[in-house]
């Protein structure tokens, strides 16, 4: 990770123009995924590579990002480098179905990523990363949804924000049609997995229900709803009641 240095004078540890962040205009440093990470979908890897075109011709490739700081002057090279490094990291963690950035959770939700985490993987100081995300938001490339939870004392605690990549970014680099195709495929895979998980849960419930009944039955067909619940009992209460009955039953061979 780069060392943060606010001194604008040259030093023996600096390269390029001596701006203190280690930036060399002729050899920009872009995001590279950690070796231990599983390979991401091809379209995401392609986009990470394509966005680097912005570095050499910012006004032509993504004018909204070049003008994000409100100046008519071309975005400085070290700021372009920071934007592309952070954006590459963000794309690496983008979910194809929702285009949200984060780590998918078992319950179908998404865990957001903190700025220190993103900055570290992008090889940026936190200050450079925060300026870069400001530019990416102003350019319409990334949207940010802040999250918080209310504590017992009424105070609020901030959580990692959920960021979303605009589908227009894919279209800018000629990947719009490919994105639609990949999103449909990813959505179908997710639905099949959810259905498979649901069938597993139904099978577990039917095993418990059958064992709790104390009688032999023909195997139930997977996917059929379980037997009607007992009056006044929630599904969770009935499940645990039946489970306790199975565990407490001894010597029942009928």
Three-state secondary structure string covering the chain: CCCCCCCCCCCCCCCCCCCCCCCCCCCCCCCCCCCCCCCCCHHHHHHHHHCCHHHHCHHHHCHHHHCCCCCCCCCCHHHHHHHHHHHHHHHHCECCCCCEECEECCCCCEECCCHHHHHHHHCCCHHHHHHHHHHHHHCCCEEEEEEEEECCCCCEEEEEEEEEECHHHHHHCCCHHHHHHHHHHHHHHHHHHHHHHHHHHHHHHHHHHHHHHCCCCCCCCCCCCCCCCCCCCCHHHHHHHHHHHHHHCCCCCC
Q: Taking the chain, what is the end-to-end CA distance rounded to the nearest angstrom? A: 68
Evaluate if residue 35 carries a pLDDT over 80: yes
Q: Which of 109-113, 115-119, 133-137, 245-249 has the lowest mean pLDDT?
A: 245-249
Neighbours of 235 (CB within 10 A): 10
How high is the mean pLDDT of the chain? 81
Confidence of residue 84 (pLDDT cuts 50, 70, 90): very high
Grade residue 188 by pLDDT with cuts at 50, 70 and 90: confident
Q: Mean of the pLDDT values across residues 183-206?
A: 85
CATH 1.10.10 fits 42-174, yes or no: yes
Share of the chain above pLDDT 70, in %: 73
What the block records as the tokens of 118 is 């993103």
Q: Given pLDDT bands bounded at 50, 70 and 90, which one contains residue 193?
A: confident
**Which residues, in sequence order, are CB contacts of 136 under 8 Å at separation 6+?**
65, 68, 83, 86, 87, 90, 142
Give the strand order in the sheet containing 100-101: 100-101, 156-165, 142-150
Q: Alpha-carbon distance 66 to 75, whole Å?
A: 5
Q: Which residues contact residue 203 at a Cβ distance below 8 angstroms, ignoring those fewer than 6 apart?
A: 222
Radius of gyration of the chain (CA): 26
For residues 164-179, average pLDDT: 96
Predicted pLDDT of residue 222: 56
| Predicted confidence (pLDDT) at residue 169 exceeds the cutoff of 70 | yes
- Return the structure tokens found at 155: 């105070």
Q: What are the boundaries of each domain within the chain?
A: 42-174, 192-248
More confident residue, 43 or 206: 43
pLDDT at position 8 is 37
Average pLDDT over residues 71-81: 94
pLDDT value for 250:
46
């Amino acid at each position: 990770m780069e060392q943060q240095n606010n001194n604008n004078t040259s030093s023996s540890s600096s390269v390029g123009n001596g701006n203190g962040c280690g930036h060399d205009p002729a050899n920009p440093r872009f995001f590279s995924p950690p070796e231990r990470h599983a390979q991401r979908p091809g379209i995401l890897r392609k986009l990470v590579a394509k966005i680097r075109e912005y570095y050499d011709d910012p006004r032509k490739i993504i004018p909204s990002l070049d003008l994000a700081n409100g100046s008519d002057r071309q975005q400085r090279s070290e700021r372009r480098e920071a934007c592309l490094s952070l954006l590459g990291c963000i794309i690496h963690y983008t979910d194809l179905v929702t285009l949200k950035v984060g780590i998918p959770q078992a319950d179908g939700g998404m865990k957001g990523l903190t700025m220190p985490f993103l900055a570290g993987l992008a090889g940026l100081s936190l200050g450079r990363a925060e300026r870069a995300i400001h530019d990416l938001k102003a350019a319409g490339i990334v949207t940010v949804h802040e999250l918080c939870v209310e504590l017992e004392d009424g105070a609020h605690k901030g959580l990692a924000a959920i960021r979303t990549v605009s589908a227009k970014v894919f279209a800018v680099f000629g990947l719009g049609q490919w994105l639609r195709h990949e999103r449909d495929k990813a959505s179908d895979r997710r639905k099949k997995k959810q259905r498979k998980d649901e069938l597993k849960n139904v099978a577990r419930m039917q095993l418990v229900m059958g064992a709790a009944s104390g009688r032999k039955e023909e195997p139930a067909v997977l996917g059929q709803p379980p037997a009607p619940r007992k009056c006044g009992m929630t599904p969770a209460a009935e499940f645990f009641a039946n489970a306790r009955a199975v565990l407490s039953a001894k010597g029942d061979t009928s």
